[in-house]
Amino acid sequence: MLGGCSVQGIADSMATFVYEHLPKDLEREIASVPAGVTKDLTEEVLSYEFEGVPWENEEYIVESQDLEDIVIPPEEQEMSEEESSLTSLMEDEKNYCYSLLEVSDKRVYIQIFNSLLQMGQDTVLSSTDTAQIEKCFNFCMMDHPELFFVDGYRTKLTTSGGIPIRLEFTGRFTCTAEERKEKQDEIDEYVSACLSEAPKTDDYAKVKYIFDYLIDKTDYDLEAPDNQNISSVFITRKSVCQGYSMATKYLLDKLGVFCTVVYGEAEGVSHAWNLVRMNGTYCYVDTTWGDASYKSSDTGEVRDNTNYNYLGCNEEILKRTHKIDSPAALPECTALTEYFFVKEGLYFESPDMERLKKLFGEKRQQGAEFFTIRCANDQVYDTFDLELFEKQGIFSLLGNELHANFIRDREEDSITFFI
């Protein structure tokens, strides 16, 4: 007996975020050339690898012997002052998932958020609907990357005659309150250094800065500790897609750029990335897939190679490799006005060889080691492929060079040139 209740079944209720994704690896391969041709074409070939596991949920169930437990239904209890004050704070667009909820769901979300923030125990919620609680918990975690010390929750459901009458919620925490403060201090130090040089006005400039900064400072590592939250990125500097996406949101929230986390699949495996709004345009950003590298089969040398295919892309481009399966409804993303390749003058709507030649000259003057172009469709890509590689027109762009290194990505309709 527990306080007048007989226990009928006990189990842990857990909702965990586990998303693992290996970014693109590029391996160099010597491409064949016609007999008698001494010029050497070297192609960089892309390969992928992925792993992932689903979320899990269980719960405590307790049968009540005390009819007093059901005098005031949870949903009819008055809202506390603390709940009321948090309600106004949540009306901020950075809490995108919260904005999608019905009024009753919003109250549960606020109660869960407050319980997690306070590291509370056995918080009585205004709902006994476990499906509703799971949804509100997930939305809360998606909105609040600062809850890095939470990796799930437990519930205790009390019933009377099989009817749910009371539900208590307890977060599952990865550290003590003291350890949480120490980690937060380290996170604050990282964030302060990062944002001290961030652009102050244009949204695109802000997003690109954070994209580049995280890629430069973070290593993709499946074995990284705490890789499902921001502490892996900001403290250990090693993470997986969940950590990258939560860190991206955390920093863009600080810069006043709308951002939310998106879940789904990439190449058939669970993955996480972001939806952002830049200068009024909704688009997708995948910081994890931006953190790429390539390896030369000639020398074995490995180099970093930022992949910008998913910096500001629309849904049409995203769906070539990603499948959206997010708990939260998302706005349409159809425009390319804030896409990296459009903003940087690297987007080709026609196979313009003269424009490409001019681009080669500009990149040489800038001292670039390589650059990538994106073709608007398969037809543009195929024409470039024919003219540059099958007909070896690339050498007319390289001047006196007798060796050409490149990456052809047919799936992305992109070509990377090493100069």
pLDDT tens track for 176-218: 999 999 999 999 999 999 999 999 989 999 999 999 999 999 9
Same domain, 331 and 394: no
Same domain, 67 and 153: yes
pLDDT band for position 1 (50/70/90)?
Answer: very low
Same domain, 189 and 336: yes
Residue 20: per-residue pLDDT? 36
| pLDDT at residue 304 tops 80 | no
pLDDT tens readout for residues 285-303: 999 999 986 655 566 666 6
| pLDDT at residue 380 tops 90 | yes
Higher model confidence: residue 107 or residue 82?
Answer: 107
Could you give the percent of the chain with pLDDT greater than 70? 76
Last residue in a domain, options 342, 377, 403: 342
pLDDT tens readout for residues 138-149: 999 999 999 999
β-strand pairing of 219-220 with 238-239: parallel
Residue 82: per-residue pLDDT? 60
> What is the mean predicted confidence (pLDDT) over 114-127?
95
Last residue in a domain, options 309, 324, 342: 342
Token readout for 273 is 């990335």
CATH number where 290 lies? 3.10.620
| pLDDT at residue 228 tops 70 | yes
What is the rounded end-to-end Cα distance, in angstroms, of the chain? 76
Output the average pLDDT for the chain. 82
Same domain, 12 and 151: yes
Residue spans of alpha helices (H) in 144-298: 177-195, 203-217, 230-231, 241-254, 287-290
Same domain, 117 and 43: no
Same domain, 317 and 211: yes
**What gap in Å lies between CA 184 and CA 152, rounded to an integer?**
19
Same domain, 406 and 263: no
Number of domains forming the structure of the chain: 3
The residue range of the domain holding 390 is: 345-419
Same domain, 150 and 243: no
Same domain, 62 and 147: yes
Same domain, 372 and 412: yes
Same domain, 133 and 233: no
In three-state secondary structure terms, 210 is helix
Q: Which residues, at least 6 apart from 283, have a Cβ–Cβ distance to it below 8 Å?
A: 275, 276, 277, 312, 313, 314, 333, 335, 336, 338, 339
Same domain, 213 and 233: yes
Residues 410, 415, 416: CA angle, nearest 5 degrees:
135
Residues 310, 314, 318: CA angle, nearest 5 degrees:
55
**What gap in Å lies between CA 217 and CA 105, rounded to an integer?**
38
